[in-house]
Amino acid sequence: MTQGMISAPQPEAVEVGIDIMKSGGNIVDATVAAALVQTVVDPQMCGIAGFGNIQLFLPSLGVHTTFDFHGRAPLAVKPNMWENLIEREAEDGWGFILSGRENEIGYGSISTPRTLAALEKILNLYGSMSLGELITPAIKYCEEGVLIRPHMSAFWNEPAAARRDPNIAMVTKYEATRKIYCNPNGKLKSIGEILFNPDLAKTYKKISKNGVQQFYNGSIAQKIVKDMENNGGLISMKDLENCFPEQKTPLWGTYRGHKIATNNPPGGGIMLIEMLNILENFDLKKVGHNSSEYIKIVSEVMKIATIDKDTKVGDPDFFDVPVEELTSKKYAKTWAEKIKNGYKADVHRLNAGATESKNTTQLTLADGKGNCVSMTHTLGQPSGVVTDGLGFMYNGAMTVFDPRPGRSGSLAPGKARFTALSPTIVFKKNKPYLIVGAPGATYITMANLQVILNVCEFGMNAQEAVSAPRFAATSNTIELSNRIFRSTEERVRAAGYPVKRQPHSYTFAWVHAIRINAGKLDGGADPGADGMVASTD
C-alpha cells in the first residue's frame, strides 16, 4: 500500500484517490482517478473538455515537471471579431462583458478541450494502472448518481453579477444540458437530490474501451465537430487533433530560504513569485498577521502584481513575457521601497462592473516517498453547452480573452489566455514542505499567497493556513472576508483605501494544501467548499 494524503473540494474524489493508493496504485494513478471523479461530481468546476495545469514532484522516478494544458483559442478566431461588442471589463479583471454575451455562455465561448489529453499523458509517463481501471469509479458515479452538495447548488443559484447572466443559465439554457441537471418538471435539481449522467457514462466507457483518441479524432470527436458546425461553434477537427499538454520545467523563486516551484505563464505562478519577492523586503511577523498594516502592504503587492499581469503577462508563444524582470529580486526591491514611501498602485479597469464566477477545482496529493502533486483544472466560465448524447460540459475559456487587439491577452488563433492557476510546491532544505493550489479565478494567486505566508511566516499547519481569514486586492478596492475584524477595516479605510466587506466568512478562492513537517503529513481543506482531507493511515 502507498502511504498518502489527498485534499480536494469533493469528498468523493478524495475517497477514490485514497482507495487507489490503498489498492497499490501510485500517486499519479490516484490523481487521474480522482480528477475523473471530479469531472462527474463537480461538473461545472471541471471536466474532460476543460483545461488546467499540474505540477509533479516524483523523486522516486527522478521527475520534477509541470504540464500546461490551458485551453487555446480555436484556429478560426479573428483578433478583432469582438472588438465592437465590448460593454465593460469585470472589476476583478477576469473577463469582458460583451453585448450578446457571445464570449460568456454558448458555443462561441468554447476553447480547445485539453484536460483529457493531459490526464492520459501523465498516466502513460508515470502511472502504474490502466485508464480503464482508473475511469471505472467515475463511470460508477455517472450511473449510480451523485448527491448534490451545498457548494454545487450554491453555484448554480448564485445571483447574477452586474450585467452578467445568472449562473443558472449554464445548466438550463440548452436542452441537452437541462436533460441532465433538471427534473422532468423543468425545475433545477436541489441539494440532496441525485444527479445521474448516463450519457457521460457511455462516453467514458467508449474512452475506456477504445482510448482517449476517440475524443480527439474518433467518433466522439466527430460528434463534437458536427455539433459545433450546427451551432456556430469554432472548434474544428484540426483544433481537437492539436490538443496535447506542454511539458515545462517549473518556474522557480525563493522566499526567506524556501524554494518555490510553480507554473510558467500563461499561468499565475509568475505573480506568486513576484509578490513573494516584494514581501520579502518587509518584516511581516513584526507587522502582525491580518493587522491593518499587513493588509495594506500585502494588498499593494497584490495590486502591483495584478497590473503587471494585465499588461505584461500572456501566452509566451504569442507575447514576449519579461519573466526575468518580473521575478527578479531587484525589481521587487524597487516596488517595496515605493510601498514603504506611501505608494498606492492604480489598477485600471475598462468601465468596471461585474465580478466573475469562480469555476475551477483542485487536487493536492502527497505520499510517504516524498512524491507530491498539485493539479488545478477547470472549465473557466462554463459554457453551458453539452453535446446531446455525450454528457460533458465544455469549457468557456474564451470569456477572459481581451477583445482589444494588440494586448497581452488579445485574441489570436491557437493562443492561450492568462489564468491565475498556480499549483505550487514550497521546498524547505530542498525537501517538499508545502503543496498548495486553489480554484477561484483571479483570486487564486491571492489565496495561494496568503496560505504560503501563513505557513512560512506564521508557522501555521495546513488546516490553520487555509482556514485563516483572507482578503484580496484584484482592483483598487481591498476586499475583506467577513471574519476580518471591523476595527481593522476602519483603520484600512482611514488610510484612504476603498474597502468592500464580503458576506462570506470563507472566500477569495478555496485552497487545498498539504504540509510535510518533520516527515509527517498534515492537510487542509478550505472550509468554503464541501471538501475534505484524508490519508491512507
Query: Which three cell numbers, joined as nine digits, stand for 104?
Result: 460568456
**For residue 142, pLDDT beyond 80:** yes
- Lowest-pLDDT range, 78-82, 220-224, 333-337? 78-82
Q: What is the mean pLDDT of the chain?
A: 93
- Across 263-274, average pLDDT: 98
Classified as helix, coil or strand, 315 is coil
Q: Spell out the residues 6+ positions from residue 13 whose beta carbon is closer than 8 angstroms to its own.
A: 6, 34, 35, 37, 38, 41, 42, 363
Residues 142 and 350: their CA atoms lie apart, in Å, by 42
Contacts of 203-207 with C-beta under 8 Å, sequence gap 24+, read 203/390, 203/391, 203/392, 204/36, 204/135, 204/138, 204/139, 204/142, 205/139, 207/116, 207/131, 207/135
Place of cell 472566500: 507
CB 380 within 8 A of CB 53: no
**For residue 117, pLDDT beyond 80:** yes
How do residues 81-104 score in pLDDT, each as one tens digit? 888 888 877 766 667 777 777 778
CB 101 within 8 A of CB 108: no
Place of cell 519579461: 322
Q: What is the pLDDT of residue 222?
A: 98
Contacts of 482-487 with C-beta under 8 Å, sequence gap 24+, read 484/290, 484/295, 485/290
Q: What are phi and psi of 423, to 5 degrees?
A: -60, 125
Quick one: which of 526, 509, 373, 524 has its CA closest to 460?
524
Query: Which three cell numbers, joined as nine digits, stand for 92?
Result: 476583478
% of the chain at pLDDT higher than 90: 83
Q: Max CA-CA distance within the chain?
A: 64
How do residues 201-218 score in pLDDT, each as one tens digit? 999 999 999 999 999 999
Neighbour-count burial of 86, counting CB atoms closer than 10 A to its CB (0-12 exposed, 13-18 middle, 19+ buried): middle
How do residues 303-324 score in pLDDT, each as one tens digit? 999 999 999 999 999 999 999 9
**For residue 47, pLDDT beyond 70:** yes
- Across 242-250, average pLDDT: 97
- Across 276-295, average pLDDT: 98
Q: What secondary structure does DSSP assign to 130-154, as a single string?
A: -HHHHHHHHHHHHHH-EEPPHHHHH
How far, in whole angstroms, is CA 49 from its chain's centroid? 14
- Across 100-127, average pLDDT: 93
**For residue 409, pLDDT beyond 90:** no
Q: What is the pLDDT of residue 422?
A: 98
Instruction: Give the confidence band of 189 by pLDDT, cuts at 50, 70, 90.
Output: very high
- Across 38-66, average pLDDT: 97
Q: What is the pLDDT of residue 399?
A: 86
Residues 103 and 159: their CA atoms lie apart, in Å, by 19
How do residues 353-386 score in pLDDT, each as one tens digit? 445 445 789 999 999 999 999 999 999 889 999 9
Q: What is the pLDDT of residue 210?
A: 95
Q: What is the pLDDT of residue 351?
A: 53
DSSP alpha helices (H): ranges in 83-242? 115-126, 131-144, 150-156, 169-172, 175-181, 198-210, 213-217, 219-230, 237-241
% of the chain at pLDDT higher than 70: 95
Q: What are phi and psi of 516, to 5 degrees?
A: -110, 105
How do residues 432-452 score in pLDDT, each as one tens digit? 999 999 999 889 999 999 999
Instruction: Give the confidence band of 460 by pLDDT, cuts at 50, 70, 90.
Output: very high
Q: Which helix (H) or strand (E) holds 508?
A: none
How do residues 487-522 score in pLDDT, each as one tens digit? 999 999 999 999 999 999 999 999 999 999 999 999
Domains and CATH numbers, the chain: 12-21+37-243+372-400 (no CATH), 248-354+420-535 (3.60.20.40)
Q: What is the pLDDT of residue 521?
A: 96
